Amino acid sequence: MLGASDTQQVAIERAKAQGVYVITTDNRPDNPGHRLADECYSVSTTDLDGALALAKSCRIDGVISYASDPGALTAAYIAHHLALPGDPLEAVRKAQDKFLLRCEQAKLGHPVPECVLGDDLVGVKRLWASAKKGLVVKPTDRAGSVGVCIFHTPPSWSALMAAIDKAKAVSFHGRAIVEARLVRTGFQFGGDYLVKQGRVLFAAYADQYLFQTPTTQAGLGNLNPSTQPAAVLAEATDQVAALVAALGLSDGVYNTDVCVSDGKVVVLDFGARLGGNWLAEVHRYATGVDLTDLAIRLALGEPLPDLGDWAHARAPRVHAGHLVIHADREGTFQSMAFSAALESVVVKKTVSVRPNQRVSPYRGTPDRLGLLLISSPDREQLLPIYAAPQAHFGLALGLP
């Protein structure tokens, strides 16, 4: 298992429950998942050859980067070299690169924002001159909104160049993508999919709540079921099925961010892994389908339970969501006291912030203070929490 963070523990637990001997590795020896594993190591999840050498020496039977982008390519690299179950390396490489992904979407005729690589200065200049609704700059290969810069209005040339340089600096391959900013109608939403032999066996959708700063909109929470019309969700699933085939993927779990813009369904982002921050747990609470368990079975090449068994579980049983505990301003963390309304819907919680830690407005995963899984049969109980999360966290912050 590539990664043993607090939100990846659930996969280690599920694998252990299946009777699997679990070996974890990442560059954070203090990560709590290591304590649950049978063996643990400190090779980084992005060290392709280091992780491959470890996998060889451990004679593993399967590899997974659970709900995490940085290790997704490494998992495919290991599976490729050791002939283990998994999608083809080149397919995963394309899926995990925001520019190559856009090229595949465009070839399929799917709606995508106009985009160019940051190093293509002629293309950048053309896009800069034409994009009236602003631009989005992203590293091609990072996640958690790291290095993302959203310009809501056309930026100055120097501001654009600075954003490209920043994105390139945090990109593993030194690459940035520049896109026209799409203006969405209604909620952004996200999907998680189980695909076997190219067929989407299961898709779960959730509305996404985003935290806006002047240059970012990072995901704060997903609430299942999505309120998007069934036809919109069906169109998203159709696009994903076509995209999976075009990329050369066929057997795996995948995750998307989607929006409706200009009347069209646009897959904004795709990952060859499950959604982060316990998203598979959100779907499990809502639908009864355990994508975590299934992802582990896929990684081991085991047969999956019969689809017929899950059909009944497709309609959500309760409303379930996750919520990233976060600050909306600079400060020094003192304490946290949840409201009674929040406390009453919390199903699961992890807190990583420490007293006197400096905190910042939430711009992406590195700013996460903790995570909650919340659930209720009554959506009305959850909506006010997503509408004003700060009022429910009861964060006491000292001066920055």
State which residue, 104 or 257, has the beta carbon closest to Mg ion. 257
| Site mask for Mg ion (CB under 5 A), range 24-63, x = bound | ----------------------------------------
Distance CA 2, CA 20 (A): 15
**257 near ligand ATP, judged by CB under 6 A:** yes
State which residue, 146 or 320, has the beta carbon closest to ligand ATP. 146
State which residue, 98 or 392, has the beta carbon closest to ligand ATP. 98
Tell me how far, at minimum, the Cβ of 295 lies from ligand ATP, in Å. 18
Q: Which stretch binds ligand ATP (CB under 6 A): 74-82, 217-225, 229-237, 321-329?
A: 217-225
User: Among ligand ATP, Mg ion, none, what does residue 155 contact (CB within 5–8 Å per kind)?
Assistant: none
State which residue, 62 or 71, has the beta carbon closest to ligand ATP. 71
On whether the CB atoms of residues 109 and 102 are closer than 8 A, the answer is no
**269 near Mg ion, judged by CB under 5 A:** yes
Distance CA 363, CA 212 (A): 8
Name beta bridge partners: 97: none
User: Which residues lie closer than 8 Å to 165 by C-beta, 6 or more apart?
Assistant: none
User: Among ligand ATP, Mg ion, none, what does residue 188 contact (CB within 5–8 Å per kind)?
Assistant: ligand ATP
Tell me how far, at minimum, the Cβ of 365 lies from ligand ATP, in Å. 7
**# binding residues, Mg ion (CB under 5 A):** 2
On whether the CB atoms of residues 322 and 349 are closer than 8 A, the answer is no
Tell me how far, at minimum, the Cβ of 294 lies from Mg ion, in Å. 22
- Exactly one of 47, 61, 269, 328 binds ligand ATP (CB under 6 A); that residue is 269
Residue list 94-153, contact with ligand ATP (CB under 6 A): 98, 113, 136, 138, 142-146, 148
State which residue, 8 or 222, has the beta carbon closest to Mg ion. 222
Distance CA 71, CA 28 (A): 14
Tell me how far, at minimum, the Cβ of 349 lies from Mg ion, in Å. 24
**179 near ligand ATP, judged by CB under 6 A:** yes
Q: Which residue is nearest to Mg ion (CB)?
A: 269
| Site mask for ligand ATP (CB under 6 A), range 33-72, x = bound | ----------------------------------------
Q: Which residue is nearest to ligand ATP (CB)?
A: 269
State which residue, 143 or 233, has the beta carbon closest to ligand ATP. 143
Tell me how far, at minimum, the Cβ of 335 lies from ligand ATP, in Å. 28
| Site mask for ligand ATP (CB under 6 A), range 325-364, x = bound | ----------------------------------------
Tell me how far, at minimum, the Cβ of 180 lies from ligand ATP, in Å. 6
SS (H, E, C) the chain: CECCCHHHHHHHHHHHHCCCCCEEECCCCCCHHHHHCCEEECCCCCCHHHHHHHHHHHCCCCCCCCCCCCCHHHHHHHHHHHCCCCCCHHHHHHHCCHHHHHHHHHHCCCCCCCEEECCCHHHHHHHHHHCCCCEEEEECCCCCCCCCEEECCCCCHHHHHHHHHHHHHHCCCCCEEEEECCCCEEEEEEEEEEEECCEEEEEEEEEEEEEEECCEEEEEEEEECCCCCHHHHHHHHHHHHHHHHHHCCCCEEEEEEEEEECCEEEEEEEECCCCCCCHHHHHHHHHCCCHHHHHHHHHCCCCCCCCHHHHCCCCCCCEEEEEEECECCCEEEEEECCCHHHHCCEEEEEECCCCCCEECECCCHHHCCEEEEEEECCHHHHHHHHHCHHHHHCEEEECC
Smallest Cα–Cα separation from 138: which of 158, 155, 160?
160
User: Among Mg ion, ligand ATP, none, what does residue 228 contact (CB within 5–8 Å per kind)?
Assistant: none
The residue ranges that bind Mg ion (CB under 5 A) are 257, 269
User: Where on the chain is the footprint of ligand ATP (CB under 6 A)?
Assistant: 98, 113, 136, 138, 142-146, 148, 179, 181-182, 188, 210, 217-219, 257, 268-269
